[in-house]
Amino acid sequence: MVVQMENVSVSFGAQPVLRQFGLHVQPGELVSLVGASGAGKTTIFRLLTGLLQPDSGTIRVMGQPPAPGRVGYMPQRDCLMPWRTALDNAAAGLEVQGVPLPQARQQARDLWHNFGLNGCEEQYPHQLSGGMRQRVAFLRTVLGGHQVLLLDEPFGALDALTRAHMQQWLLGLWERLGKTVLFITHDAEEATLLSDRVYAVKGTGVEIAIDLPRPRHYRMVTEPTFAERRAAVLREVGLC
C-alpha cells in the first residue's frame, strides 16, 4: 500500500473539515476524490504532501509519514512561467533539485513525444492551448521522479471537448508510466472514466469500486454499466 489514511480528522478553528477519514491506494492505482467545494479534497492533498498536520489519525505515504517532496503534486493551475519556453518550463522542477539546465532539458526531451508535445519545445505558454499547457505541467510533475502523483483538478479549466481529449490522453499515459495517481475532480463522469476506485468526500469518505474493464475508452460513457457506476458516485456525493 503506497498511500494510507486512517481515522484522520482535521478542523480549522471550530469548523470540522475531515472526520475519521480513511483512504488507501495500492501501487499503480488511479483513485479519484469527488465532492463539493469545501468538502476536504484539497485538505487531503495538503495532508499527503506534509504541508498540513492532522488533528488526529495516521497517514503514511510509501510507508513513511508525509513530508514535502515525497510525492509529486500538480495544482489546479498549470503555473507555467511566462518568460520560459515549454521545454524550460518542463525542466524547471529538475533544476530546483539541482540538475544542470542542459541535463534537465535532455530529460524533458526524452519524454517529450510521450506527452504529445512535439513541435512546441520553443513556444512560450501564451502560444500554447490549454490542453498543451496542462501536458507541459504534467511532464514537469512526472520529471520529479515520484511514484505517487497528486493531480488537483488538472482539467477543470478546459472546455468540454478538450477535457475529453485530455482524459483519454491521461488514461493512455498512465497505463504506460505505471504511476500511482490520486486525482481530484468535481465531475462524476470523469472520475468514473478514469478511476479504479472513487472516494466520495463529504467530511468522511465513502469508497466506490469502479469495476469497469481496462483499457478504458471514452465511448464507454454511453454504456449502461458505466451509467450505473456514475450514478453510484452521484448518489454518494448527494446529487442523485
- Its pTM stands at 0.92
**pLDDT value, residue 240:** 62
In 3D space, the residue among 50, 63, 75 whose CA is nearest the CA of residue 147 turns out to be 63
Report pLDDT for 205.
87
Query: Long-range contacts for 15-22 (Cβ within 8 Å, ≥24 apart)?
Result: 16/203, 17/43, 17/203, 18/43, 18/44, 18/54, 18/203, 18/204, 19/203, 19/204, 20/57, 20/204, 21/57, 21/201, 21/203, 21/204, 21/205, 22/205
Every domain of the chain with CATH number 3.40.50.300 lies at: 7-64+161-240
- pLDDT in tens for each of the 240 residues of the chain? 999 999 999 999 888 999 999 999 999 999 999 988 888 999 999 999 999 999 999 999 999 999 988 899 998 888 899 999 999 999 998 988 889 999 999 999 999 998 999 999 999 999 999 999 999 999 999 998 889 999 999 888 788 888 888 899 999 889 888 999 999 998 999 999 999 999 999 888 899 999 999 998 888 999 999 999 999 999 998 766
**pLDDT attached to residue 37:** 83
Class of domain 7-64+161-240: alpha beta
